[in-house]
C-alpha cells in the first residue's frame, strides 16, 4: 500500500503518476477537506473532486480543476436569479455536488466519496482526511475569512497573518484512513501547499500521531521551485507567516515526520540545508507539466520506499 497526502492540483497530478506507476499495489490518497464548504445548498469538496477528476482523466488540463470542456449554463442562470457566482460550477461538475449532498443524508463522507470515485472509474482509494468537518480559516488585516472567500472570492489578495483549522482538534480518523496508514510501506507528502492543503490534514491530532508512529517510509516533495510556487499563493503566505518560502522552508515544516525530501534540480544547491535536518535529499525535475513528467516524479518518489 502506498499512501499519498494531497490537496488539489499538485497532489492530484502526483497521485495520477503514482497510480499509473504501480503495477500490483494499491494507492490510497488521503485528501484535504479543509476547503469544503456549502454553496447554493450544496456540499462542495474542491480537493476531493480535483483528485477524482484527475485520476479519472476528466480534469480540465488548462486549470487542473473542474471538468474538461464543461459548460456554464446553470451558472449563468444563477446569476440571472441574483445568486453568487464567484465560485465556478460547471454544468457537468454540478452533478457531483448534487449527488454528494444527497448521499450525505445517509452515509459518511468517506462512503460517499468511495461511491463517487467508483462511478468515475477511479481505481485508487480516495479518502477524506476525516468524516468530521474541519474548516480552514484565514486571518487577515480585515479579519478572519472562510477559506473560499480568501482563495476564490477575494483572489488571494489579502495578507495572511495566520491560519487556523476550526474543528481539527475534535476531528477523528475514519477506519479506512487508519487502515491505510497501518498498511502503508510509503507515505507521500505530495507537492501541495504545506500550510492550507497538507496543513489541515496534519492538524488532526490523531492523523499526526498515526503518521508519526507508522512503520512506513515517509517522503515529502517540495511545491516550491527556485523560490516560486508552482501554483497558488504559497510564497506570499509563507512570508506573511514569517516562514522562509523555499524548499528548505518547506522541509522544516515536515522534518519531524518525514525521512526523505525531494526538491527540484534547480534547487539542488539547497540540499545541504535540508540534509542538515537529518533528511535524505534527492534532486530531480519536479515540474509535472505533462503525463511523462508525472510518471517520472512518481518513480523517483517510489524509489524512496
Mean pLDDT of 281-296: 98
Please report whether residue 268 resides in a domain: yes
Does residue 155 lie in a domain region? no
Q: Is 0.85 surpassed by the pTM of this model?
A: yes
Q: CA-CA distance, 58 to 49, in Å (whole number)?
A: 10
In angstroms, the CA 297 to CA 13 distance is 10
* CA–CA distance, 167 with 57 (Å, rounded to integer): 33
The string over 58-81, giving b where at least 16 C-beta atoms fall within 10 Å of a residue's C-beta and e elsewhere, is: bbbeeebbbbeebebeebeeeeee
The enclosing domain of 126 has a CATH number of: 3.40.50.10680
Does the pLDDT value for residue 23 go beyond 90? no
Domain for residue 146, yes or no?
Answer: no
Count of domains observed in the chain: 1
Range 1-14 average pLDDT = 98
Which neighbouring-strand residues pair with 262? 221, 282
- Residue 116 domain flag: yes
* Residue 144, domain member (yes or no): no
Encode pLDDT of 84-122 as tens digits.
Answer: 999 999 999 999 999 999 999 999 999 999 999 999 999
Q: Judge whether 64 and 9 are in contact, CB under 8 Å.
A: yes
Q: Which pLDDT band holds residue 24 (cuts at 50, 70, 90)?
A: confident
Query: Domain range spanning residue 252?
Result: 2-139+166-302
Residues present in the chain in total: 305
Q: What is the pLDDT of residues 243-274, one digit of tens each?
A: 999 999 999 999 999 999 999 999 999 999 99
Report d(CA 36, CA 47) in Å as an integer: 8
Segment (H or E) for 191: none
Q: What is the pLDDT of residue 204?
A: 98
* In-domain check, residue 247: yes
Q: Is residue 152 part of a domain?
A: no
- Phi then psi for residue 184, to 5 deg, are -70, 140
188, containing H or E segment = strand 186-189
pLDDT in tens, 146-171: 999 999 999 999 999 999 999 999 99
Which three three-digit cell numbers place residue 164? Answer: 487556523
Phi-psi region of 157 (alpha: psi -120 to 50; beta: other; left: phi over 0): alpha
Cβ-contact 127, 30 below 8 angstroms:
yes
Is the residue at 148 inside a domain? Answer: no
Amino acid at each position: 500500500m502506498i499512501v499519498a497526502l494531497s490537496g488539489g492540483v499538485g497532489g492530484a497530478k502526483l497521485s495520477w503518476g503514482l497510480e499509473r506507476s504501480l503495477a500490483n499495489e494499491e494507492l490510497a490518497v488521503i485528501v484535504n477537506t479543509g476547503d469544503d464548504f456549502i454553496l447554493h445548498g450544496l456540499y462542495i469538496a474542491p480537493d476531493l473532486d480535483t483528485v477524482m477528476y484527475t485520476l479519472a482523466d476528466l480534469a480540465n488540463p488548462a486549470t487542473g480543476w473542474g471538468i474538461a470542456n464543461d459548460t456554464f449554463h446553470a451558472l449563468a442562470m444563477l446569476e440571472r436569479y441574483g445568486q453568487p457566482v464567484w465560485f465556478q460550477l460547471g454544468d457537468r461538475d454540478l452533478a457531483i455536488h448534487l449527488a454528494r449532498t444527497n448521499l450525505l443524508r445517509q452515509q459518511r463522507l468517506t462512503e460517499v466519496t468511495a461511491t463517487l470515485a467508483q462511478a468515475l472509474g477511479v481505481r485508487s482509494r480516495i479518502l477524506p482526511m476525516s468524516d468530521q468537518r474541519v474548516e480552514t480559516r484565514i486571518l487577515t488585516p480585515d479579519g478572519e475569512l472562510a477559506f473560499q472567500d480568501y482563495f476564490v472570492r477575494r483572489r488571494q489578495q489579502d495578507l495572511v497573518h495566520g491560519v487556523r483549522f476550526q474543528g481539527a482538534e475534535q476531528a477523528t480518523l475514519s477506519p479506512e484512513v487508519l487502515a491505510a496508514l497501518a498498511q502503508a510501506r510509503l507515505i507521500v507528502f505530495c507537492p501541495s501547499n504545506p500550510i492550507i492543503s497538507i496543513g489541515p490534514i496534519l492538524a488532526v491530532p490523531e492523523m499526526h500521531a498515526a503518521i508519526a508512529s507508522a512503520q512506513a517510509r515517509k517522503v515529502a516533495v517540495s511545491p516550491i521551485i527556485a523560490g516560486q510556487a508552482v501554483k497558488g499563493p504559497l510564497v506570499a503566505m509563507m512570508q506573511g507567516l514569517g516562514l522562509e518560502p523555499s524548499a528548505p522552508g518547506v522541509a522544516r515544516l515536515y522534518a519531524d515526520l518525514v525521512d526523505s525530501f525531494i526538491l527540484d534540480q534547480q534547487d539542488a544547491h539547497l540540499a545541504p540545508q535540508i540534509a542538515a535536518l537529518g533528511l535524505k535529499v534527492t534532486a530531480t525535475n519536479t515540474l509535472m507539466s505533462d503525463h511523462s513528467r508525472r510518471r517520472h516524479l512518481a518513480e523517483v518518489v517510489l524509489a524512496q520506499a
